[in-house]
Amino acid sequence: MSQFGKVAVLMGGASAEREVSLMSGAGVLKALLSRGVDAHAFDPAHRHLSDLKREGFDRCFIALHGRLGEDGTVQGALELLGIPYTGSGVMASAISMDKVMTKRIWLSEGIATPRYALLRRGVYTRGAVMEIPDLLGLPVIVKPAREGSSLGVTKVAGYSGMAEAVDAASQLNDDILCEECIEGDEVTCPVLGHGDNAYALPVIRIVAPLGQYDYQNKYFTDTTQYLVPCGLPAGEEAAIQELVVRAYRVLGCRGWGRIDVMIDGRTRQPYLLEINTSPGMTGHSLVPMSARAAGIGYEDLCVKLLADTALDTGVAA
pLDDT tens digits, 183-224? 999 999 999 999 999 999 999 999 987 666 555 655 556 788
State how far the Cα of 44 lies from the Cα of 64, in Å rounded to an integer: 9
Say if CB 282 and CB 23 are below 8 A apart.
yes
Measured CA to CA in angstroms, residue 9 lies from 81, 84, 191 at distances of: 16, 12, 21
pLDDT confidence of residue 210:
65
Judged by average pLDDT, the poorest of 90-104, 145-159, 172-186, 234-248 is 145-159
Residue 234 pLDDT level (bands cut at 50, 70, 90): confident
- At 250-262, the pLDDT tens digits run 999 999 999 999 9
Measured CA to CA in angstroms, residue 314 lies from 84, 86, 224 at distances of: 10, 13, 39
- At 56-92, the pLDDT tens digits run 999 999 999 998 999 999 999 999 999 999 999 999 9
The number of beta carbons lying within 10 Å of the beta carbon of residue 80 is 10
pLDDT confidence of residue 284:
84
pLDDT confidence of residue 150:
75
pLDDT confidence of residue 298:
97
Residue ranges of domains in the chain, CATH in brackets: 2-86 (3.40.50.20), 95-112+182-307 (3.30.470.20), 116-180 (3.30.1490.20)
- At 86-104, the pLDDT tens digits run 999 999 999 999 999 999 9
Average pLDDT, the chain: 93
Mean pLDDT, residues 162-172: 94
Mean pLDDT, residues 156-165: 96
Q: Which residues contact 93 (CB under 8 A, 6 or more apart)?
A: 70, 71, 72, 75, 87, 277, 278
Report, as residue numbers or ranges, the catalytic residues. 17, 149, 219, 258, 260, 274, 276, 280
Mean pLDDT, residues 141-151: 85
pLDDT confidence of residue 147:
82
Mean pLDDT, residues 99-120: 97
pLDDT confidence of residue 313:
79
Q: Which residues contact 185 (CB under 8 A, 6 or more apart)?
A: 205, 232, 262, 263, 265
Q: What is the pTM for the complete model shown?
A: 0.94
Residue 23 pLDDT level (bands cut at 50, 70, 90): very high
CA dihedral 124, 130, 135, 138 (to 10 degrees): 130
Residue 277: pLDDT over 80:
yes
Residue 317: pLDDT over 90:
no
The number of beta carbons lying within 10 Å of the beta carbon of residue 53 is 13
Residue 136 pLDDT level (bands cut at 50, 70, 90): very high
Mean pLDDT, residues 120-128: 88
pLDDT confidence of residue 209:
76
| Among the listed residues 108, 121, 6, 128, the one whose alpha carbon sits nearest the alpha carbon of residue 56 | 6
pLDDT confidence of residue 224:
87
pLDDT confidence of residue 34:
98
State how far the Cα of 115 lies from the Cα of 294, in Å rounded to an integer: 33
